[in-house]
Structure 1
Amino acid sequence: MKPVLWLKIAMLPACIAWSNTAVSADEPELATEVAVQTGTIAKATLHRYVMAYGTVEPEPATGDKPAAGSKIAAPMTGILTQTYCVEGQQVKKGALLFELDTRSADALIAKAEVAVEFAQKNFARKQQLTATDNISRKLYDEAELLLQTARQDLLNAKTQRELLQIKAPLSGTVTAIHFKVGEAVSLATVLADLVDMDRLDIAIRVPSLEAFALRLGQAAEISTGSAGSNPIQQGKLAFIGAQVDPLTDTVLVRSTLSKASGFRPGQFVKVRIIVEERPERLAVPIESVVTRGGVSLIAVIDGDSAKQKVIKPGLRDGNLIEISGEGLQEGMAIVTQGVYGLPPETRIRVLK
């Protein structure tokens, strides 16, 4: 009995191995299949940008144009007695905006008018006496000089009176009024801000390391700067400063704005300056490119399988990135989402 029992025990592992082999032979071989989303290689015009922030301002004075904004200042000390404008009002050049207390000026004018009247009568008598040779030339000249001085004093008094009436130096919109009637103002006190709303531009501060790529006439896309906002205005670079601000390490750049742009002075904006354009370049969505060990790859689809292909990435513009590589053509199908988990070559299943 013992030899038989030993034989049965020895044959048991062999039977188990045979049984597993038979089962494996009956089952079909499982193939790896990865679910992905796909896209195509396309040709696109890509851009390189310099990003910066800026503030809406009135255009500064140039060689042939005056400034588009003005700080309306008091020409002398006085009391504000009349306001002829309100904030938001459009005014024409030369329109009366404010008036200071004129009582002292009116008194000087009245005094000067009396002096002129006296000097005129005195000079008229001297002229009559001259006709009959009853007056010396010296007295005649003194009377004439007295009349000229009185007339000049009257002119000066009227000029001082006119200075108390503050007028608009340009046509535009009153954007702010800083004083009320009855308040005292001093020399050069700013009473109001006046801006020509059709002549606004963007004062942009560009980091000095990026300013080398800027050129006059380059396009600028302007948005409000809020998250997800799209460009709402197109402008062009009209000025590039030659000096770097040592406090901010930035260069002042100005971009034009179209009339009726909808922007307001002082508004903060985001600016994207186009410094390079590359037309007709092969491009793919950025999520279709994966980098492993310093090598960039995309997965090109052939039938129901995908094979990784080495590419050289180039300029990125938004969600697209420029690519180049051997055998790449427009219209080739590629894996977009799911590419990170792919082996070098595998079967795929396209998600709808």
Structure 2
Amino acid sequence: MKIIPLFTSLLLATALWACGTKAEESANTTTTAIQSEDAGPVDAAVPVKLAPVSSVVRSEPVIVSGLVSSSEEARLSFKIGGIINKIYVSEGQFVRKGQVLATLDLTEINAQVGQAQFATEKADRDLARVKALYADTAATLEQLQNATTGNNVAKQNLTIAQFNRSYAQIHSTVDGTVTRKLMNEGELASAGSPVFMISSNRKSDWVVRVGVSDKDWARLKPGDRASVNLDAYPDQTFSGIVSKLAQAADPMNKLYEIEVRINPGAARFAPGLFAKVKLQPAQSRSYTVVPIEAIVEGNGKDAFVYVLADDKKHVRKLPIQIGFIDGATVLVTGGIDGKTSVVTAGSAYLTENSTVVLH
């Protein structure tokens, strides 16, 4: 009867020992897992490839757009204000240099000339009278001088009135076409307000005016060649030459105006035609050449590339300036000085903290 309690005690002791062993193993396993988490994951090395950096001397073209116009353009107006009496031409009409285009009503202007003439005649009589009195010592030298001055002033006023009357009509200043007629007969024209816009239509006068940046302006000079494509003639390319360079930037857009003189050949041109211009500077410059797949995070002319760090296990991210893209390569204007290679394959997966391995 005493054997059963003893056997029960042995079973209980064995069970307690087994539970303690399992709890210790579980605690050890948990501790190991925590220590593994504290150590952090191990970054895998990113496999990359390098490509050599080269240099080339090129004359980078400048691609811009603008509008066709005439180098001989005129905004014609009246010298004085008045009512427009007659307009002799219409828009689109060809005119000759010196041709009368419009006249003012001369009623008021003729009256002003008449007043000036009467004032001049009176000043002549006054001067003659004072001279006679001065000869008889009945007038002073001051009176004679005042009469002389008054006579000269009257003559100058007559000259002004006659000059204004001669400019009470508009004459064409060039052989060309009336591109715009801004006023009509019977309207009140203010002095200096444009009434006509005239453009020369000689073949040698057609130009395209475009705006370029300061860097491109510095590379261009008069005589540089250009090719011009017009939307009006999509299948033709016209030759051109840089004829003028502005010496100051436009205060609104900060660009420098370039005038390209073009040869229309047998084509018919008109002011306002849209043109795409490719300027070819004679001045060359040196570029650094990298594969296009090395470029990351491009934004206009600004981009980045990765290069191998000094320890050969990490990379550095360099900002660069893009000149232009030439097929599968990029011509870089700055940012890779002194570097002999850049990362190509694998660059899309890199950060500046990445570990790399060459393959």
Q: Is the Cα–Cα contact under 8 Å of residues 244 and 258 in structure 2 kept in the other structure?
A: yes
Q: Does 1:137 align with 2:140?
A: yes
In the alignment, structure 1 residue 235 sits paired with structure 2 residue 247: no
What residue in structure 1 maps to residue 200 of structure 2? 196
- The answer to whether structure 1 residue 262 and structure 2 residue 268 are counterparts is yes
Query: How many angstroms does 1:201 deviate by?
Result: 0.9
**Cα offset, 1:202, TM superposition:** 0.7
- SS of residue paired to 2:235: coil
Superimposed CA distance per residue, residues 283-320 of structure 1 (whole angstroms, 9 cap, x where no aligned partner): xxxxxxxxxx99xxxxxxxxxxxxxxxxxxx977xxxx
TM-score in terms of structure 2 length: 0.51
Q: In the alignment, which of 98, 108, 111 is matched to residue 107 of structure 1?
A: 111
1:259 Cα deviation (Å)?
7.1
In structure 1, C-alpha distance between the alignment counterparts of 2:218 and 2:149, rounded to whole Å: 67
Residue of structure 2 equivalent to 1:148: 152
Read off the aligned partner of 1:161 and give its amino acid letter.
R
The Cα shift of 1:182 comes to 0.4
Separation in structure 2 between the aligned mates of residue 193 and residue 237 of structure 1, nearest angstrom: 25
Distance of 1:80 and 1:96 partners within structure 2: 13
Mapped to 2, the partners of 1:72 and 1:136 lie a distance apart of: 51
- Between the aligned partners of 2:171 and 2:96, the Cα distance in structure 1 is 10
Q: What is the 5 A alignment of 1:1-352?
A: 49-59=61-71, 68-87=72-91, 88-92=93-97, 94-131=98-135, 133=136, 135-138=138-141, 139-198=143-202, 199-205=205-211, 214=220, 216-225=222-231, 228-231=234-237, 233-240=238-245, 252-258=257-263, 262-274=268-280
Return the alpha-carbon distance in structure 1 between the equivalents of residues 248 and 216 of structure 2: 14
CA contact (8 A) 1:91 1:174 kept: no
Pair 120,226 (structure 1): closer, same or farther in 2 beyond 3 Å: closer
1:253 positional shift: 2.9
Structure 1 gap segments, 5+ residues each: 1-46, 60-67, 277-292, 295-313, 317-352
Counterpart residue type for residue 176 of structure 1: R
Give distance in 2, aligned partners of 1:210 and 1:151: 57
> Residues 207, 263 of structure 1: CA spacing in aligned structure 2 closer, same or farther, 3 A cutoff?
farther
Residue 145 of structure 1: CA displacement? 3.2
Aligned twin of 1:309: none
Deviations 1:83-106 (A, max 9, x none): 2433322221x4433222322221
Distance in 1 between residues matched to 2:156 and 2:250, nearest whole Å:
50
Deviations 1:188-226 (A, max 9, x none): 321011222232211124578877765543322222226
Question: In the superposition, relative to structure 1, how do residues 135 and 100 fare at CA in structure 2: closer, same or farther (>3 Å)?
Answer: same
Structure 1 residues 86 and 135: CA distance shift in structure 2, 3 A: farther
Q: How many aligned residue pairs are there? A: 225
- The superposition leaves residues 11-58 of structure 1 with CA deviations (integer Å, 9 ceiling, x where unpaired) of xxxxxxxxxxxxxxxxxxxxxxxxxxxxxxxxxxxx975443221123
Asked if the contact 1:202–1:257 (Cα under 8 Å) also holds between the matched residues in 2, the reply is yes
State the secondary structure of the residue aligned to 1:144. helix
Contact 2:60-2:281 at 8 Å conserved across structures: yes
What secondary structure, in the 3-state scheme, does the structure 2 residue paired with 1:265 have?
coil
User: Is there any run of 5+ residues in structure 2 with no aligned partner, and where?
Assistant: 1-58, 283-292, 295-324, 328-359
Calculate the aligned-residue CA RMSD, in Å: 3.8
CA change 1:89–1:144 in 2 (3 A) is same
What residue identity is the alignment partner of 1:200? W
Task: Answer whether contact 1:174 1:194 (CA < 8 A) is retained.
Answer: yes
Whichever structure has more helix as a proportion of its residues is: 2
Q: Is the 8 A contact 1:204 1:254 kept in 2?
A: yes
Contact conserved, 2:212 with 2:257, CA < 8 A, in 1? yes
Cα deviation per residue 1:81-130 (whole Å; 9 max; x = unaligned)? 122433322221x4433222322221122122222223323333444455
Query: Which residue number in structure 1 is paired with residue 331 of structure 2?
Result: none
Amino acid at match of 1:135: A
